[in-house]
């Protein structure tokens, strides 16, 4: 009546097989998952992450030769008798070429460029003072640059430190530098990374109009590698502030208001391949370099020309619709219209930033 021993063994045998299969499949599965975990988790991002609260987008009006009075009025503001002073606060890493485009673009409207440079990267690696040793490239600003050195901490093996902490320490340090540069109440202050460039007419508009919001994010057109690869309009971190004693330098969400189409954000827009490698290992997301081969020059060059991701990652999107739309290479653009004027005037020098110029030196 009781189940015979035979039955037991016949049940036990497949169990053993199951166990062996388990022993083989689990490690394989774990290898696949760990190699692609990043992709898998980004693919499911729409499920595990919520988008930031939406911005209230202010329409932005501009055309050449339209009077400032009319432009202010279109935005619901009024014209001032005098423009506000404007300070451009930047934490600089190694984006020399982009800075060389940014400064002449904003120079007519800026009182001081306040540039903080650290002798270590956000990841705690000692770095040369790229700005200090290339100051002659910025002589045209004629004494408008206030430059500060931030003494970085070296991260030793085993205690790499949190790159985001080093980044936020630098953001705190720039407050003192701005003060030294003479910023006062009612001046404008731009808080942005070097590669987030507000368009000159945007800065001029905000200088000349009364009634603008005290803090405003800039919606910037996003580019990757060069202006040949427009990605989208999702860049929002840059802000402009009417300065007051409570103003703190930040690079995060500060208000719900964002001004549409206010400039350019060109990420990884470097002239030399070694600058790509530097940035990949230096910035706060350096953990994205998951394999040594990611830093291979010929691989990087190939990806730059095809508009593919340096870190073999999926787009960071909050809906499956957007994610799928943005998967794959960024389409090439043939447009070099509505780009920084200095870039077009010096097109020969900056071929690598323009359509057709993807090959790096
Ligand atoms: C802008 O105005 C100037 C002087 O009023 C004129 O010379 C120029 O042709 C105008 N440009 C455009 C694009 O209308
Ligand atoms: C960075 O600069 C500070 C101040 O000049 C200095 O004490 C420190 O040793 C420097 N660190 C590196 C990594 O060069
Ligand atoms: C870089 O990659 C290319 C092809 O993908 C390969 O031929 C070359 O040996 C690699 N170079 C290094 C230094 O790994």
Residues in the chain: 361
Query: Which DSSP letter does residue 20 get?
Result: H
DSSP secondary structure code for residue 293 in this structure: G
- The CB of 9 under 6 Å from ligand 1? The reply is no
pLDDT of residue 345: 97
Domain made up of 56-287: CATH architecture? Alpha-Beta Complex (3.90)
User: Could you state, in order of their start, the residue ranges of all structural domains in the chain?
Assistant: 56-287
The span from the CA of 200 to the CA of 260, in Å, is: 14
160 C-alpha to ligand 3 centroid (Å): 28
Number of Cβ within a 10 Å radius of residue 72: 21
Q: How many CB atoms lie within 10 A of CB 86?
A: 22
Distance, in Å, from the CA atom of 346 to the CA atom of 210, rounded to the nearest integer, reads 35
205 C-alpha vs ligand 3 centroid, how far in Å? Answer: 50
Q: Which residues pair with 88 in a beta bridge?
A: 113, 190
Which residues are CB-neighbours of 222 under 8 A, at least 6 positions away? 230, 231, 232, 233, 234, 235, 265, 267
Interval between CA 148 and ligand 2 midpoint (Å) = 13
If 0-12 CB within 10 Å is exposed, 13-18 middle and 19+ buried, where does residue 283 land?
middle
Give the three-state DSSP class for 226: coil
- Nearest residue (by CA) to ligand 1, atom 7, is 65
Q: Which atom of ligand 3 is nearest to the CA of 292?
A: 14
- Within 10 angstroms of residue 61's Cβ, the number of other Cβ atoms is 13
Distance CA 188, CA 203 (A): 9
| Region of 356 on the Ramachandran plot (φ > 0 left; ψ -120 to 50 alpha; else beta) | left
- Is 270 exposed, middle or buried (CB count within 10 Å of its CB: 0-12, 13-18, 19+)? buried
Task: Give the number of whichever ligand sits closest to the CA of residue 300.
Answer: 3
Full strand arrangement of the beta sheet holding 263-267 = 196-198, 263-267, 220-224, 230-235
Mutation test residue for ligand 1: of 62, 63, 64, 65, the one with most atoms within 8 Å of CB: 65
Q: What is the structure's pLDDT at 7?
A: 47
> Which listed ligand is nearest to 277 at the C-alpha?
3
Cα torsion at 332, 336, 337, 338 (round to 10°)? 100
> Mean pLDDT of successive 10-residue segments in the chain (361 residues)?
48 72 78 67 71 91 97 98 97 94 97 94 86 94 92 68 76 92 97 97 98 98 96 95 95 95 97 93 73 88 93 76 80 95 97 96 80
- Quick one: pLDDT at residue 62? 98
Ligand 2 midpoint to CA 129 (Å)? 11
Give pLDDT, residue 90: 95
Give the predicted TM-score (pTM) of the model: 0.85
143 near 108, Cβ under 8 Å? no
238 alpha carbon – ligand 3 mean position (Å): 37
How far apart are alpha carbons 201 and 135 in whole angstroms? 26
């Amino acid at each position: 009546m009781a189940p015979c021993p035979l039955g037991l063994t016949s049940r036990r045998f497949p169990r053993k097989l199951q166990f062996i299969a388990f022993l083989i499949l689990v490690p394989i599965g774990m290898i696949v998952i760990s190699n692609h975990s990043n992709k898998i988790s980004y693919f499911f991002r729409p499920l595990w992450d919520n988008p930031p609260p939406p911005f209230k987008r202010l329409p932005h009006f501009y055309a050449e030769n339209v009077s400032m009075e009319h432009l202010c009025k279109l935005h619901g503001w009024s014209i001032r008798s005098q423009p506000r002073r404007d300070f451009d606060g930047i934490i600089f890493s190694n984006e020399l070429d982009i800075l060389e485009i940014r400064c002449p673009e904003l120079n007519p409207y800026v009182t001081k460029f306040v540039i903080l440079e650290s002798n270590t990267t956000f990841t705690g690696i000692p770095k040369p003072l790229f700005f200090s040793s290339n100051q002659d490239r910025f002589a045209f600003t004629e004494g408008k640059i206030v430059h500060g050195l931030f003494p970085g901490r070296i991260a030793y093996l085993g205690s790499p430190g949190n790159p985001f902490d080093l980044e936020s320490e630098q953001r705190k340090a720039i407050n003192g530098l701005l003060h030294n540069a003479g910023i006062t109440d009612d001046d404008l202050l731009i808080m942005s990374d070097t590669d987030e460039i507000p368009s000159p007419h945007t800065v001029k508009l905000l200088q000349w109009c009364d009634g603008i919001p005290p803090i405003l994010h800039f919606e910037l057109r996003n580019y990757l590698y060069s202006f040949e690869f427009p990605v989208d309009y999702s860049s929002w971190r840059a802000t402009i502030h009417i300065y007051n004693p409570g103003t703190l330098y930040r690079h995060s969400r500060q208000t719900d208001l964002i001004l549409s189409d206010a400039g350019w954000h060109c990420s990884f827009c470097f002239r030399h391949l070694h600058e790509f490698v530097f940035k990949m290992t230096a910035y706060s997301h350096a953990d994205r370099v998951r394999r040594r081969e990611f830093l291979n020059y010929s691989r990087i060059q190939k990806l730059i020309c095809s508009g593919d991701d340096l870190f073999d990652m999926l787009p960071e999107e909050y809906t499956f619709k957007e994610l799928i739309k943005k998967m794959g290479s960024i389409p090439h653009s043939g447009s070099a219209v509505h780009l920084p004027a200095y870039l077009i005037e010096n097109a020969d020098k900056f071929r690598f930033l323009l359509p057709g110029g993807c090959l790096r030196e």
